[in-house]
Structure 1
Amino acid sequence: MMSLIVIAAIVISIALGYKTKINIGLFAIAFSYLIGCFVMGLSPSDVIKMWPLKMFFIIFSVCLFYSFAIVNGTLEKLAEHLLYSCRKFPHLLPYAVFLTSALIAGLGAGYYTVLAFMAPLTLMLCERTRMSLILGAMAVNYGALGGANFVSSQSGIIFRSLMTNSGIAENTAFINSFAIFLSTFVIPLLVISGFVLFTGHKKLMQSSTYTISQPSALNKQQKTTLLLTIVMMALVLVAPIAQIVLPDHPTVAFINSKMDIGLIASVFAVIALLLKLGDERKAMATVPWATLVMICGVGMLIAIAIKVGTIDLLASWIGTSIPPVMVPVAFGVVAALMSLFASTLGVVTPALFPIVPPIAAALGIDPLVIFVCIVVGAQATSISPFSSGGSLLLGSCPTEQSRSEFFPKLLLRAAPLGFAVALIFNIVLTLVY
C-alpha cells in the first residue's frame, strides 16, 4: 500500500508539473514531506536529510565554473568558428551542427544552454541553406545531448552521481558513464549519415548559395577561459583513467581518492574570478537552478520510495515478469515513453537508475547495459514537442506559423525515428554484449 502511494506521488508530480508548468521538483519536495512525516512517521529532519546534498554540490560547482565560458561568450564564439569551418562543404553542415553542439555541451555548457543559443541558429541555417528541419533539429538536439553526457559535463556527472548513490563503485560508474556517452554520440552520427547519403539531402544543400560570414577571433579572456576549461577536464579525467589502468599503484590510488569533480570545479571557479574571466553575479545567475531543484526534489521522493521498499518491489516484479534477455530493452522502452513528457535528468534517470543494481544482480546482467539502454531510450524521444528538448526547439521558431508547421514534424517524424533507432541499438547491444 505504501509503495502505491509513493508511485502515485511520483506520477502526480510529473502530471502536475506538465500541466501547471511549475517545477516538478517542488511538487516532489511537497509530497516527500507529506508522505515522510504524516504517513511514514519520519521526523522533518529525516526528510530534509534525503535531499541529495553531494549531487547538488557537484552539479552546482561544475555549472558555476562552466558558466564563465557562457557569460564571456567563449562558447558562442567557438560555435561560430566551428560552423564557419564547414562553409565550403554545405552538405556537411548537419555534421558541423552536431559536432559543434556536442563540443560546446561537452565543454560544460550543458544540454539546455546549448539548445538555447544553438537551436535558433540551426533553424535559421535550415531556412537559408535548404537543410531539412528534421535533420537540423535532430543534429542540434542529439549533439547537445551526446556532448552533455561526457563524463566531466553536466549530464555525465548527474549519471555518475545517480549510479554511486545506487551502490555502484566510483570507477565502475565512470566506465558506465563513458559507455553512455559513446552510445549517445555514435547513434546520432549514424542517423545523420543515413539522411545525408540516402535521402538526396547532399544534392539539395550543395545547390544552396548561402554563405556564413567569418567570425572574429577569440579575445584574450576567451582564450584563457578555454584553456582553463581544458585543463580542468584533463584533471578530472586523468585520475580515474589512471586508476583503471593501474589499479594496484599506491600513488595513483591515493591521488584518485583525493579527486572530487565538485571541489576541483570550485577551485577553478575561484581561479576564473581572480583572473576576471566573468562577472560573479552573472555566473551565479547562469547556474541551472531550476534543473537542480527538479533533480534534487525528485531525488528526495525516490529516497522515500527506497525507504518504503518500492524500488525492491519494482525490481522483483521486473525480474520475474520479463525474460532476462529483454530486461535492458524493456527499460529502454519505459524510459522512452517517460521522456515523451518528462525530463531525462530530472525524472527518468532518478526514477529508474536505483532499480538497476538489484535487478542486474538478480538476473546476472551487467548493469552497464541497462544504464545505457535507459539513457539511449530516454534521450531518443527527448525531441518530442511535449518534452524539454522539443519545446525548446519549438520556442526557437521565429514565427507562430513556422512553429505550428514544426510541431507535427517533431511529434510524428523526429520522435518516432529517434525511438526506432534507439530500440534497434538497444536490442543489438543486449544481444551482443
Structure 2
Amino acid sequence: MLVSLFYNFALVNGTLEKLSQALLYRCRKAPKLLPFAIFLAATLIASLGAGYFTVMASLAPITLLLCEKTGMNKIVGAVSVNYGALAGANFMTSASGIIFRGLIEDAGLADSAFACSTNIFVATMIIPILVISGLVLFSKSWNEFGENLEIKEPEPLNHKQRSNLYLIVSMVAIALAAPVLHSIFPDNKVIAFINSKIDIGLIAIVLSVVALLLKLADEKEVIAKVPWNTLIMICGVGMLISVAIKAGTIDILSGWVEANMPSFLIPIVMCIVAGIMSFFSSTLGVVCPALFPIIPSLAAATGIKAKVLFTCVVIGSQATSISPFSSGGSLILGSCATEEDRAEMFPKLMFRAVPMCLAASTVMSIIISTILG
C-alpha cells in the first residue's frame, strides 16, 4: 500500500504519461518497431510503480487507436501492451514484484525471496519479446504500415515531474542496492545486516512524505488511487490460505501431487493449472496466494528448485490475463471504440491470444525447469 501511495504521485502529476509518450515518439520513424515500443512504454510505466491496472487503463485505448491509424493487427497491439504492463509490474520494486516477494517470504523462503522475484521478472521480460517477435514476423498486416507514425512530440517534463522522477530513481536505487550487493557478496556480514534491515515500505513512506512536502501532486487524488480492493482481496485470500496451512490441507495437496505425478511434469502442470485459474480470476489476489504455499513442500519432496516453481506459476497465470473474462482482456475490450470493434475483439482474445500466450508460457516453463531445475 505504501509503495502504491508513493508511485501515485507520478501518476497524478503526469510524469509516467509523458515518459510513455516520449518513448512512443522516438519510434515514429520505425513503425515496425511499434509493438516493441508499446511493450517497453508499458513496462517502463508499470515498473516505475503505476501498476498493471493503471497502465492498461491508460495505454490500452492509445494502443488500439495506434492500431487503427497504422494498420497494425489489434491482437499484436493488445498482447504488447498487456505483456508490458505485466512485466513492468513484476519488477522487484513495483507493485506485483513486492507482492510476490511477500508471498514467498510468507511461504517460508525469506532468504531467497529477492532472487525468486528477480527470476520472475526476467522470465516475464523474455517471453513477451519472443512472442511479439513471432507476431511481427508472421502478421499479414505489416505491409499496410506507412513510413511514419503520427505521434505528437510530448512536452518536456516540468519541475514537479522532474523532481518526481528523481525520487523514483532514488527509490529504485535504494531498494535494489542492498539485495544486489548481498547476491554478489553473500559472505559480507555488513551487507547481509543492511539487507536484512531494508524495508521497502519504510523507504516508500519516507519518499512519499518528501513528495508531499514538495507538493508534487494533490494528496487526495494520490490516496484515492491506492488499489484498496486488490489489497483487501489479497489479505482475505492470505488469511484463508493460512487457515488451510494450519489445518494441514497444503501438506495433503502437495503429498498427493508428489505421489501421483512425475517430477519432470510438475513445473509444466503448475504453469497450466495457474493459467486455467487465472482465466477467470486474479493472479495477485487468488492464484499466487493459493499456489505459492504449496511450492516449498513440492520443492523439498521432488528436488525441483522453488524458484522454478514460483516462476512457472506466475508466467502461467499471467499468460491468460488477456482473457476477456480476466482483468487484462476486459480492460482491452473496454478500450474498444465501438460495439462492433468489441464484438470482433472478443473471439480473437479468447481463441487466439489466450492459447498463444499460454503455449508460450508452457514452453518457457519447460526451458526454465531444464536450465534451472
TM range (shorter): over 0.9
* Residue matched to 2:143: 203
The amino acid of 1:176's aligned partner reads C
* 1:109 aligns to 2:109 (yes or no): no
1:174-219 Cα shifts (integer Å, max 9, x gaps): 01100000001110111111111233444332x3664111111110
* 1:155 aligns to 2:96 (yes or no): yes
| Structure 1: gaps spanning 5 or more residues | 1-59
Is contact 1:91–1:201 with CA below 8 Å preserved after alignment? no
The amino acid of 1:157's aligned partner reads I
Structure index of larger Rg: 1
> Which residue among 18, 25, 36 is the counterpart of 1:84?
25
The amino acid of 1:117's aligned partner reads S
TM-score for both structures, normalised by structure 1: 0.84
The amino acid of 1:199's aligned partner reads S
> Which residue among 228, 253, 271 is the counterpart of 2:192?
253
**1:312, 1:303 → 2: CA distance?**
12
* Residue matched to 2:73: 132
Is contact 1:130–1:208 with CA below 8 Å preserved after alignment? no
The structural deviation recorded for 1:365 is 1.0
Is contact 1:195–1:201 with CA below 8 Å preserved after alignment? no
The structural deviation recorded for 1:432 is 3.0
Moved more, 193-202 or 374-383: 193-202
**1:202, 1:429 → 2: CA distance?**
32
* Residue matched to 2:302: 363
The structural deviation recorded for 1:428 is 2.1
* Residue matched to 1:244: 183
TM-score for both structures, normalised by structure 2: 0.98
1:18-45 Cα shifts (integer Å, max 9, x gaps): xxxxxxxxxxxxxxxxxxxxxxxxxxxx
Paired residues in the alignment total 372
* Residue matched to 1:278: 217
* Residue matched to 1:122: 63
Query: Equivalent residues in 2 for 1:340-351 (5 A)?
Result: 340-351=279-290
The structural deviation recorded for 1:304 is 1.3
Is contact 1:71–1:282 with CA below 8 Å preserved after alignment? yes
* Residue matched to 1:52: none
**2:371, 2:21 → 1: CA distance?**
40
The structural deviation recorded for 1:290 is 1.1
Query: Equivalent residues in 2 for 1:70-81 (5 A)?
Result: 70-81=11-22
Query: Equivalent residues in 2 for 1:8-407 (5 A)?
Result: 60-170=1-111, 172-205=112-145, 207=146, 210-407=149-346
Is contact 1:385–1:391 with CA below 8 Å preserved after alignment? yes
Is contact 1:126–1:136 with CA below 8 Å preserved after alignment? yes
Is contact 1:146–1:184 with CA below 8 Å preserved after alignment? yes
**1:202, 1:64 → 2: CA distance?**
41
Is contact 1:324–1:363 with CA below 8 Å preserved after alignment? yes
Is contact 2:271–2:362 with CA below 8 Å preserved after alignment? yes
The amino acid of 1:346's aligned partner reads G
1:108-143 Cα shifts (integer Å, max 9, x gaps): 111011001000100110111111110000000011
**2:302, 2:171 → 1: CA distance?**
39
1:69-115 Cα shifts (integer Å, max 9, x gaps): 00101001111111111000011100000000001000111101100
